[in-house]
Structure formats: structure tokens, C-alpha cells
Chain A
């Protein structure tokens, strides 16, 4: 456990942007909306925050096992008594725990801020706000739902010599394209796209002007958490992380 905690810490030393970027971006967004007199929008930032967190974890995972091979530092990290499983787990935890925790804190802050603005009369009182518990459930469902995607990115990051992000996106994109031409797009969209970024892209109603609804996912969190697909996804994620540890053992510096 101690080694795991230090490995997570080590990740944050190397990838400071993982927490600096969402904090800076989130706070800046809130500040801009308040300053420009669009206080009511603060209450609608949840989807943007979730999407931002996904992008950050996405990019981080594609880089996490690639960078140490590229700069040969993998030999340094392997010269200490820390197993490949612990290292891979620590990198997964950045995407599955650290980034979500920061995003959740920002979500809570945005709701708190919106309530404050309503109380002070700066925002319209009819803005529908979400409870801290609702935000936490949404975050949890998102993380669990996306876990196989992050695990897959870690595998590719630990295997490919170049452009791991592109390689990671190639198979799902190809599969979706082929499936779309064959005419079975929805099932595959559920498998690939909705595991990833698309879950937080604005829905059709949001594209027609201001977002009017708060169910920001295409599928609500409660539906996700009770779906078998989510739990099967976790089984797949565990398998992929084991695979990533296996590859890390075999791959040395490039």
C-alpha cells in the first residue's frame, strides 16, 4: 500500500498538468461566467467538467506507460522493489481516482457557487441545481463506465512504440466504421463510443441552444450503475490492467 501511494505521488510529480489543468480550467470558467454576468451558466458547468476530466484522463493514460519507455527511465523505476502490477495500478488510479476526485470537487464548487449567486440575487432562482450526492453518483458511474477505456489506453501505451493515442483509437474507430457500413451502428456505439468521450458530449437538446436538462449523460447514472454492461466492463478492465502489467514486465526501454 505504501509503495502504491508513493507511485501515485510519483505520477503526479511527473504529470502535474493532470491536476493543474482541470483546477485552472474549471476555476477560470467559473470566474469568466460570473464576471461576464452569466451567473446562471455556472450551474450548467457539470457536463463540461465531466468531459474535461475524461479528456485529461484519456490523454494521461495514453502517455502513462509510453513515456517511461521512451526516456529509458523504466530501467530506473524497475530497479526498485515495486512490482509491475503496483505501477500499472498506480497509473490506473490517477485516471480512476485522482482526476475524478478533482472533477467532483469542482462540480461541488460550481453548485455551491451557483447557489450562492442565486441567494445573492445574481442568478435566476429557477436554475435547477443538483445535490452533492447526485454529482458524486454521476462521477462514480462515469468512472466505472469508462474504466475499460482507460485500461485499454494503458495497454496500448505500454506496447506501441509511437503514437499510442492514435493506435488506441484506431481499432474502435475501424470497428464502428465497418459496423456502420454493415448497418448495425447502435450496438457498437454503446460498446465503444459511449464508454468514452461521447457520454459527455451535449445531447441533441443541448445543441439547440441552451442546455435545458440536467441528465447530462446519454444514459443516466442510475441506469448505468444497474446495468450488467457496466459490471462486465469492470471485469474487462481488470483483465486489461493485468495485461498492461504483463507487457510492462516484458518491455524495456525503447
Chain B
């Protein structure tokens, strides 16, 4: 069953377009990465999926219309916002008590284990904690929800190295469980590229790439070309060229694999490479030199 079905999502704020024709079809158990520069519409897309923002277009999440059934949808969702949205006045124990009371999928033992591991006391107020610790607490609360859909908006913002590693471990464990769907907006492409099954790259609200990771790996080829072959290689319509040690590395979007193979050593490009190149090529009109 599809967890997320979206067709032609559009969202316009007063002075700018935040989403411009986004289509998604994400099955249960998949892991979707939402990638793009700041202000590309990532948060808007994530919030639209959860019925927090009204959007034009067709949208079904876990079989529900999020805008009209947010409360029902949230029974099976855990969500972390980009900037901490934890109320500053709340005490740690109050936040846990409240979650445990209103979220049927909340597993209190998990949250308590996190508190104990980080030396957090129930009486601590959020405003007395460091930013990083609040970010961790919010993540811990979200990850304590036994949710069918987990939506994370730049979850590692403000985390230290160790917390970040722990988080990605937990994320991987969750991703490996069947029928758990994850949507994650992030700039940390190297960390997530092995977790993702699908990716959508947004630029000013437009999806400039939307495909499965398998398709991405089949479609883009990176090859280190010896200087002698560079002239030939350039005739083969590479997407991008960058100088590297002892030659150049060219990125191809499709093309004749057998011919490209003759140019040098083939590599699967990293997600970061593909995204950076695509975003550079798709510079907003006003910014083209």
C-alpha cells in the first residue's frame, strides 16, 4: 500500500511559491529524502504531508487526507520540526507525561531510557537546557513514538558528533524495520544516502529530481577521465566536469554506458555530487551569470 500519494502539490505564500507541482508515490517501508537549498520548500512539503499547511493538489497519507484528518493521521506519525518547537516553559516530565497521555503509539520506556542516559531530570525546564540537548530531547520524544510514518525536518541541526551518530544509528534501525516509512529533509547527504530508497530534490518548490535511489544510481554515471580522452569525453554531452588529480571527473546523466566505459574508471556518483550538480545547473533564472 502507498503511504504517500501526492499529485500536483502547489503552495503559494503571499510573495513566493513554496511548492510548484510536486508528485510523490512512496510505498510503505520506504525512506524518502527531501533535499534542496534553504527556502526550497522542504519544510512546506513535510508540513503539507502532515496536514499542517493547506496545499493545492491531491494528497493522501496513510490513506487519509491530512488537511482534514490531521489528528487521526498523527496517531501513526512522529514528527520533528526543523527549529525546536518545544515550548520553553514545559518541564521534561510534563512533556513526557503529555505525550504518553495523548499519543497512543508513545513508548514511555524508550523516552525514559533517553532521559536517564542524558542525565535529564523530570523537573528540568526546556529553557534551562542547552539548544543541543533540547534538539536531542525532541528527537528522543519523536523516536519514542511507534509510528508508521516518521517525518523529520533537518533532525540533526544542533546535534554534537556523538548525538548525530546515535541518531543516524537509530534512524537506520527504524528504516530497516518493514512497513515503517520515513521522510527526512536534510543537508547531510553523505549520512543518509545509504538509508534512502527515494529522493526528491527541490529548487524553489519545483522538483528537479524525483526518483528511487536505484534509478538514480542507474541513471547517473561518474567517470574519471585521463586528460588524453578529455576532448572525446566532452563531445558525449556530460552534465558536469570538475578537475581532479591527474585529469577530470565527468558526470553523465544516462548516455551510452559502453562508450563512457572506455573513457576511464566508472563510479557511482555520491548523492551529494548529483544534487550539487543538478542544483547548480538549475540556478534560478535571476542568478545565472
Contacts of B77 in A (CB 8 A): 79
Q: Which of A58-77 contact B (CB under 8 A)?
A: 68, 71-77
Chain A facing B: main interface SS: helix
Is B252 an interface position by the 8 A CB rule?
no
Given A13-B94, A81-B74, A249-B70, are A75 and B101 also a contact pair (CB < 8 Å)?
Answer: no
Chain B facing A: main interface SS: mixed
Is A80 an interface position by the 8 A CB rule?
yes
Given A76-B81, A79-B79, A82-B102, are A250 and B74 also a contact pair (CB < 8 Å)?
Answer: no
Given A79-B74, A83-B70, A250-B54, are A71 and B87 also a contact pair (CB < 8 Å)?
Answer: yes
Give the shortest distance, in Å, between B67 (CB) and chain A (any CB).
Answer: 8
Q: Does B86 lie within 8 Å of A73, measured CB to CB?
A: yes
Is A253 an interface position by the 8 A CB rule?
yes
Contacts of B79 in A (CB 8 A): 79
Q: Does B81 lie within 8 Å of A75, measured CB to CB?
A: yes
Q: In the complex the two chains form, what is the Cα distance from A74 to B47 in whole Å?
A: 12
Given A6-B102, A252-B52, are A78 and B70 also a contact pair (CB < 8 Å)?
Answer: yes
Q: Does B85 lie within 8 Å of A76, measured CB to CB?
A: yes
Q: Does A79 lie within 8 Å of B71, measured CB to CB?
A: no
Q: Give the residue name and chain of the B residue nearest to A4 (CB).
A: B102
Q: In the complex the two chains form, what is the Cα distance from A83 to B72 in whole Å?
A: 8
Contacts of B83 in A (CB 8 A): 72
Contacts of A252 in B (CB 8 A): 47, 52-53
Is A2 an interface position by the 8 A CB rule?
yes
Please report the number of residue pairs spanning A and B whose Cβ atoms sit closer than 8 angstroms. 79
Contacts of B72 in A (CB 8 A): 81
Q: Give the residue name and chain of the A residue nearest to B90 (CB).
A: A13
Is A14 an interface position by the 8 A CB rule?
yes
Q: Give the residue name and chain of the B residue nearest to A83 (CB).
A: B71
Could you mark each residue 12-51 of chain B with 1 if its beta carbon is under 8 Å from any beta carbon of chain A, else 0?
0000000000000000000000000000000000010010
Give the shortest distance, in Å, between A179 (CB) and chain B (any CB).
Answer: 36
Q: Does B102 lie within 8 Å of A81, measured CB to CB?
A: yes
Q: In the complex the two chains form, what is the Cα distance from A159 to B135 in whole Å?
A: 29
Q: In the complex the two chains form, what is the Cα distance from A254 to B7 in whole Å?
A: 28
Q: In the complex the two chains form, what is the Cα distance from A36 to B188 in whole Å?
A: 69
Residues of B within 8 A of A (CB): 47, 50, 52-54, 70-75, 77-81, 83, 85-91, 94, 98-99, 101-104, 138, 142
A-B contact pairs, 15 of them (CB 8 A): A6-B101, A6-B102, A9-B98, A10-B94, A75-B81, A76-B87, A78-B50, A79-B74, A79-B77, A79-B81, A80-B102, A83-B70, A83-B71, A86-B71, A250-B54
Residues of A within 8 A of B (CB): 2-3, 6-7, 9-10, 13-14, 68, 71-84, 86, 249-250, 252-253
Taking A82-B102, A252-B52 as given, write out 7 further A-B residue pairs in contact, using a Cβ cutoff of 8 Å, ordered by the A residue number.
A3-B101, A72-B83, A78-B52, A79-B50, A79-B81, A82-B71, A82-B74
